[in-house]
Amino acid sequence: MPRNDHRPSGASAIRVGVRYARNNPPLRATLVRAVAFFLFASAYWALLPLLARSQIVGGPEIYGVLLGAIGAGAVGGAFALTRLKAKFGADGIAVAGTMGTAIALVLYALAHTLLVAFVASLITGACWIAAISTFNVSAQLALPDWVRGRGLAIYVTVLFGALSIGSAVWGEVAAHFGLPLAHLLAAFGALAGIPLTRGAHLQAAAGLDLSPIVALADTNRRLGPGAGCRTRAGMIEYDLEPAERDRFIDAMNEVARERRRDGAYAWGLYVDTARPGRIVETFLVESWMEHLRQHERVTKADELLQARAYRYVRTSPVVTHLISADALEDVSNLHDPSARTKADPDARIAGSAHESGIASTATEGRHWTPPSH
């Protein structure tokens, strides 16, 4: 995909990444499942040194042996992972890893000999590699190329955040109630998370085509008027049969997520009370450059979402671009439409918009024309 020469600021890039994660159901499901696992799995990482010293009454050599057993279990689990995934799927592996972790935590609670703790550590390692590899793949599958780095950064932040918070919590629990009870409570919490997160499916984006639409990604980037303005609004007018209105609105709720994922920070859908067949979609983005990036970010999966909504539309939607009058960088250019038209011969801007500097109107047929019935 061609890169835009005008890169977003660090704060803007972070906002876009967080907004994308919030409006991406497969990634959000992965984050929920990761928190439910790592919050309780952190117990054995935090308490293992105390277990080796206090319950088994050993020293650094015992702790080293237990860590080595976790590593050996992880290696063994990695070899079996491919066959297990083919048989049980991503959700099944995550559930099995959580249940195995709960069993290991119970064994840690009962361990007063090296043998019991060693067996628990082997189980722990196998379940850890099964769970974390499944979560990692699920997060990567949910992210298109343009936001993969930011999305994975959010995933890793959530992962280590859950580990950090869980470690602090289980340390406090062990200090007040003892190691056995801390392990048992962590095991109970891990098991309770299985039914609570049943609706959050892993690797749900495996069948989605997240490659960009070539025609849009290769579009020439034109700055247009108010390129540096802080706020840009889009307004799209749809004409449809009034009887299809409810179905259209339901389909547009999915399109709303796509708009927000691709950069819009506000979205709305309005019905004209005088004309029931006229529906207006509005959304706000941070700048004109961010709007251009929206076009680059539309994937083939997003195109299918739009097609489900646009099949109810009778004529090509009318697209209106609105730019904030208070944030224009060069107002003088707006009073010379001919100069800007020469600089950008493809610009289709209404004469009144040039004069006021408030709105520009264009029909982008390639993007917005509904598919043939």
Least confident interval from 158-172, 193-207, 278-292, 351-365: 351-365
Q: Could you give phi then psi for residue 72, rounded to 5 degrees?
A: -65, -40
User: Tokens in use for 154?
Assistant: 């959010």
User: Tokens in use for 188?
Assistant: 């109970």
Whether the pLDDT of residue 359 is over 70: the answer is no
pLDDT on residue 68:
96
Tell me the one-letter amino acid at 71. G
Largest separation between any pair of C-alpha atoms in the chain: 86
Q: How confident is the model at residue 350 (pLDDT cuts 50, 70, 90)?
A: very low
Fold of 10-196: Growth Hormone; Chain: A; (1.20.1250)
Cα distances (angstroms) measured from residue 34 to each of 190, 296, 334: 11, 30, 51
pLDDT on residue 37:
97
CATH 1.20.1250.20 in the chain, residue ranges: 10-196
pLDDT on residue 135:
97
Whether the pLDDT of residue 365 is over 80: the answer is no
How far, in Å, CA of 295 to CA of 370, rounded? Answer: 17
Count Cβ atoms below 10 Å from residue 312 Cβ, excluding itself: 21
pLDDT on residue 360:
34
Characterize the bridge pairing of strands 318-323 and 278-285: unpaired
Q: What is the DSSP letter of 266?
A: E
Q: How confident is the model at residue 357 (pLDDT cuts 50, 70, 90)?
A: very low
Whether the pLDDT of residue 15 is over 80: the answer is yes
pLDDT on residue 276:
84
Report the mean per-residue pLDDT for the chain. 82
CA dihedral 301, 303, 306, 307 (to 10 degrees): -110
Q: What is the pLDDT of residues 131-141, one digit of tens each?
A: 999 999 999 99
pLDDT on residue 169:
97
pLDDT on residue 16:
84
Q: What is the pLDDT of residues 297-322, one digit of tens each?
A: 888 898 898 899 999 999 889 998 88
Residue of higher predicted confidence among 121 and 288: 121
Element (H, E) at 58: none
Q: Could you give phi then psi for residue 2, rounded to 5 degrees?
A: -65, 145
pLDDT on residue 355:
31
User: Tokens in use for 274?
Assistant: 């005088």
How far, in Å, CA of 254 to CA of 256, rounded? Answer: 5
Cα distances (angstroms) measured from residue 217 to each of 146, 213, 324, 361: 11, 6, 26, 21
Residue of higher predicted confidence among 355 and 155: 155
pLDDT on residue 290:
77
Q: How confident is the model at residue 6 (pLDDT cuts 50, 70, 90)?
A: low
CB contact at 8 A, 286 and 232:
yes
CATH 3.30.70.100 in the chain, residue ranges: 214-368
pLDDT on residue 289:
78
Q: What is the pLDDT of residues 62-87, one digit of tens each?
A: 999 999 999 999 999 999 998 988 88
In the CATH hierarchy, which top-level class contains the domain 214-368? Answer: alpha beta
Q: How confident is the model at residue 292 (pLDDT cuts 50, 70, 90)?
A: confident
Residues contacting 67, CB < 8 A, separation 6+:
48, 121
b/e map of 63-82 (b: 16 or more CB within 10 Å)?
A: bebbbebbeebbeebeeebe
**Residue 362 three-state SS:** strand
> DSSP of 181-241, one letter per residue?
HHHHHHHHHHHHHHHHTTT--TTTTTT---SBPHHHHTS-----TTTT-S-EEEEEEEEB-
pLDDT on residue 328:
55
pLDDT on residue 101:
97
Least confident interval from 49-58, 220-229, 292-301: 220-229
Residues contacting 244, CB < 8 A, separation 6+:
312
Residues contacting 103, CB < 8 A, separation 6+:
123, 187
Residues contacting 347, CB < 8 A, separation 6+:
222, 224, 225, 340, 341, 360
Average pLDDT over residues 202-218: 77
pTM of the model: 0.78
How far, in Å, CA of 112 to CA of 124, rounded? Answer: 17
Q: Which of 13, 37, 136, 125 lies closest to 78 in space, CA to CA?
A: 125
Whether the pLDDT of residue 4 is over 50: the answer is no
Whether the pLDDT of residue 179 is over 90: the answer is yes
